[in-house]
């Protein structure tokens, strides 16, 4: 499988399942067999994930990526041996970092829920082509990740603008939008994965969906007040 298909969810799921380390091996840069150069994306993803791991208290050395060709068997064996020793030194996931099992599980689940949001917010950096390893260190910063995860955006449907067209409800990947015919839609904030799809698909003529950062989301409109009142056309 091309490393370009590696997703943040794959890595987090491995740690959720109790893996003490995750290794990703791919082709050398600029030697892609599919002309997609997915290993650039994989490197960016690993750099991002390492910073997220630091943020939640996991040692980032539990995750490693290397570019190795199929003809470098000896090098591959050396790299895997070195990584295996490192993971063994680090010890069981979470315990070595002083994290309670339930605490670690909760942190990983929270990251999993925010993956669509993280990918949308960092899509430009995830698509960058870092040619030099010297650029890796500052591509993602601890402060950046703290801001990203500490100030998560929310989405809200303005009752005065919603026309119950169902565009957002039909496209929501988490089924987080409460919708009925002729009823103002409401986003279930507990189900919402912060992907921003509702904002993207809401017709511009309505612009009913708002992205909110740094402040609480207004309470949902009462059930009895959700009927859409359409203005009659002037003669």
Q: SS3 for the chain, per residue?
A: CCHHHCCHHHHHHHHHCCCCCEEEEECCCCCCCCCCCHHHHHHHHHHHHHHHHHHHCCCHHHEEEEECCCCCHHHHHHHHHHHHHHHHHHCCCCCCCCCCHHHHHHHHHHHHHHHHHHHHHCHHHHCCCCCCHHHCCCCCCHHHHHHHHHCCCEEEECCCCCCCCCHHHHHCCCCCEEEECCEEEEECCCCCCCCCHHHHHCCCCCCCEEEECCCCCCCCCCHHHCECCCCCCCC
- Tell me what the mean pLDDT of segment 206-232 comes to: 88
pLDDT tens-digit readout, 182-202: 999 999 999 999 989 999 999
Is residue 235 predicted with pLDDT exceeding 50? no
pLDDT band for position 232 (cuts 50, 70, 90): low
Higher pLDDT, 42 or 232: 42
Is residue 142 predicted with pLDDT exceeding 90? yes
pTM recorded for the entire structure: 0.81
pLDDT tens-digit readout, 88-133: 999 999 999 999 999 999 999 999 989 989 998 999 999 999 989 9
Domains in the chain: ranges and CATH = 3-150 (no CATH), 154-225 (3.30.70.20)
Higher pLDDT, 26 or 11: 11
């Amino acid at each position: 499988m091309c490393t370009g298909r590696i997703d943040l969810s794959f890595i987090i799921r491995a740690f959720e399942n109790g893996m003490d380390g995750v290794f990703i091996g791919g082709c050398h840069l600029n030697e892609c067999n599919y002309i997609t150069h997915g290993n650039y994306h994989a490197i960016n993803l690993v750099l991002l994930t390492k910073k997220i791991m630091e943020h939640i208290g996991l040692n980032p050395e539990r995750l490693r990526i290397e570019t190795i060709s199929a003809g470098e068997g000896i090098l591959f064996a050396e790299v895997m041996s070195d990584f295996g020793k490192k993971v063994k030194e680090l010890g069981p996931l979470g315990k070595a970092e002083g994290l309670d099992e339930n605490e670690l599980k909760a942190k990983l689940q929270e990251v999993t829920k925010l993956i669509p949001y993280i990918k949308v917010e960092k899509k430009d950096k995830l698509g960058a082509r870092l040619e030099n390893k010297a650029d890796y260190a500052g591509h993602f910063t601890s402060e950046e990740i703290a801001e990203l995860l500490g100030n998560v955006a929310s989405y809200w449907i303005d009752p005065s603008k919603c026309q119950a067209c169902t565009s957002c409800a039909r496209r929501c990947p988490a089924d987080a939008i409460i919708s009925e015919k002729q009823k103002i839609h409401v986003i279930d904030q507990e189900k919402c994965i912060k992907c921003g799809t509702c904002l993207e698909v809401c017709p511009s003529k309505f612009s009913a969906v708002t992205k909110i950062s740094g402040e609480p989301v207004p309470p949902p409109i009462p059930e009895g007040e959700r009927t859409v009142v359409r203005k009659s056309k002037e003669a």
